[in-house]
């Protein structure tokens, strides 16, 4: 489920649709705690009171997430662009929809997505998984799953399926007609909240297993947390992202950053249609501002950046070391390091070869093999893409 931001369904319309379909939540209705698989002391993801977690809902959501019936031509599912083996990304620079149309953005990882305070590269207003789930299904600019105007077709398919009617009844037992678009989104969101990754070598190291990380990775962690590199400012906390919330935490404004990838006019311009938060806010100062994704499982999620324009982690480090990217020819030529709009944190730095290797070792120590191989998160239809 890619996270695009503009000209899909208007967000106000999506919000109204869900509010009308779901009705207001009862403030006295306390959701039953769900047994998330969490290390001791780790807060659970936020769960909205009108969509409490349940095993039946998660089971339904997993099947829907990987079911190609959720595209009009039945060629793709949410999982087509979010492969478990790639930490729920797709390995493409920009994703491809069910009709073959390329989207303008790179598929973000769904690792720990239940902790994200913003769910797209560049839309500050979209922070609920239930709302985001509707966009790839029903958006048409670009076409992803291609169901715009075809809600009836989708529901007809699901009601005729041998398994879904009973699964929906178990997951949404209070509903007289549980097979609805709203409940599709709720079930998918519930499954996504279980995509929790806290068993990388780094996690085992901080829990006391000093053999979990190599000496090189430990030195890389120390480098990562220095003012010299500034990495930790945007990739902070337990989820290595400054756009993080959890159960019981206060609401927070999602931060977005200009990382000086482009400067095509000498004034900081990014190429359309990937101009960042500007596309939503229309404020000139938001040009090129995108969300800092979590670094968890970053080794598995190449290529990098919102448009997939940097191929390797080595190149990502070189980009930040230079304080911005210089493109010498073509329509996007310009020197990002001189952009007046770039983040103040992009000052550039120098690394020895050994320090670069240490930093890479640390980033690779954020790879959670148990997570990407977990049977609970695999395609129940037994396929990838």
Please name the residues in contact with 266: beta carbons below 8 A apart, sequence gap of 6 or more. 334, 338
- β-strand partners of 102: 96
Q: What is the pLDDT of residue 252?
A: 74
Q: What is the pLDDT along the chain (385 residues), one digit of tens a residue?
A: 433 333 233 333 333 333 333 333 333 334 448 999 899 999 999 999 999 999 999 999 999 999 999 999 999 999 999 999 999 999 999 999 999 999 999 999 999 999 999 999 999 999 999 999 999 999 998 999 999 999 999 999 999 999 999 999 999 999 999 999 999 999 999 999 999 999 999 999 999 999 999 999 999 999 999 999 999 999 999 999 999 999 988 877 789 999 999 999 999 999 999 999 999 999 999 999 999 999 999 999 999 999 999 999 999 999 999 999 999 999 999 999 999 999 999 999 999 999 999 999 999 999 999 999 999 999 999 876 5
C-alpha–C-alpha distance, residues 385 and 375, integer Å: 17
pTM metric for this prediction: 0.91
Q: What interhelical angle do 55-65 and 181-193 show, nearest 10?
A: 100
* CATH code for residues 11-197+370-377: 1.10.760.10
Check: CB of residue 264 under 8 Å from CB of residue 336.
no
Domain range list for the chain: 11-197+370-377, 201-368
How many whole angstroms separate alpha carbon 322 and alpha carbon 347? 8
The burial class, CB within 10 Å (0-12 / 13-18 / 19+), for 42 is middle
CB 270 within 8 A of CB 262: yes
Residues 209 and 260: beta-carbon distance below 8 Å: no
Torsion angles phi and psi, residue 304, rounded to 5: -115, 170
- Phi and psi at residue 215, in whole multiples of 5°? -60, -35
The fourth-level CATH superfamily of domain 201-368 is: Cytochrome c-like domain (1.10.760.10)
- Report the C-alpha gap between 119 and 314 in whole angstroms: 26
Q: How far is CA 156 from the centre of its chain?
A: 30
- In a 10 Å sphere around its CB, with 0-12 CB exposed, 13-18 middle and 19+ buried, how is residue 338 labelled? middle
Domains 11-197+370-377 and 201-368 share a fold: yes
- Burial class (CB within 10 angstroms; exposed 0-12, middle 13-18, buried 19+) of 250: exposed
- Cα three-residue angle 39-109-297, rounded to 5 degrees: 55
């Amino acid at each position: 489920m890619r996270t695009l931001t503009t000209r899909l369904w208007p967000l106000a319309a999506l919000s109204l649709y869900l509010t009308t379909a779901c009705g207001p939540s009862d403030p006295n209705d306390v959701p039953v705690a769900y047994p998330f698989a969490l290390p001791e002391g780790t807060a659970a993801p936020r769960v909205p009171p009108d969509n409490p977690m349940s095993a039946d809902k998660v089971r339904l959501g997993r099947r829907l997430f990987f079911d190609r019936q959720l595209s009009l031509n039945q060629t793709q599912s949410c999982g087509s662009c979010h492969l478990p083996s790639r930490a729920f990304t797709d390995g493409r620079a920009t994703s491809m929809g069910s009709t073959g149309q390329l989207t303008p953005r790179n598929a973000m990882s769904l690792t720990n997505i239940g902790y994200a305070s913003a769910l797209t590269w560049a839309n500050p207003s979209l922070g609920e998984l239930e709302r985001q789930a509707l966009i790839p299904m029903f958006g048409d600019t670009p076409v992803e799953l291609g169901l715009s105007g075809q809600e009836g077709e989708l529901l007809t398919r699901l009601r005729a399926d041998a398994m879904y009617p009973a699964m929906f009844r178990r997951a949404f037992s209070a509903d007289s007609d549980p097979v609805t678009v709203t409940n599709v989104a709720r079930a998918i969101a519930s499954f996504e909240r279980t995509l929790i990754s806290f068993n990388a070598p780094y996690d085992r190291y901080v829990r006391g297993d000093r053999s979990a990380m190599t000496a090189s990775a430990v030195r890389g962690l120390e480098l990562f947390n220095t003012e010299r590199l500034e990495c930790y400012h945007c990739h902070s906390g337990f989820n290595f992202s400054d756009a993080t919330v959890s159960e019981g935490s206060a609401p927070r404004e999602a931060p977005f950053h200009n990382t000086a990838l482009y400067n095509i006019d000498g004034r900081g311009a990014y190429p359309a249609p990937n101009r960042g938060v500007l596309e939503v806010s229309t404020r000139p100062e938001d040009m090129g501002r995108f969300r800092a994704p979590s670094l968890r499982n970053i080794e598995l999620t190449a290529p990098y950046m919102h448009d997939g324009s940097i191929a390797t982690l080595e190149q990502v480090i070189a980009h930040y070391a230079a304080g911005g990217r210089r493109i010498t020819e073509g329509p996007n030529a310009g020197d990002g390091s001189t952009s007046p709009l770039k983040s103040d944190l992009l000052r550039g730095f120098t690394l020895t070869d050994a320090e670069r290797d240490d930093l890479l070792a640390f980033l690779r120590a954020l790879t959670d093999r148990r997570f990407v191989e977990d049977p609970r998160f695999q395609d129940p239809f037994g396929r990838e893409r």
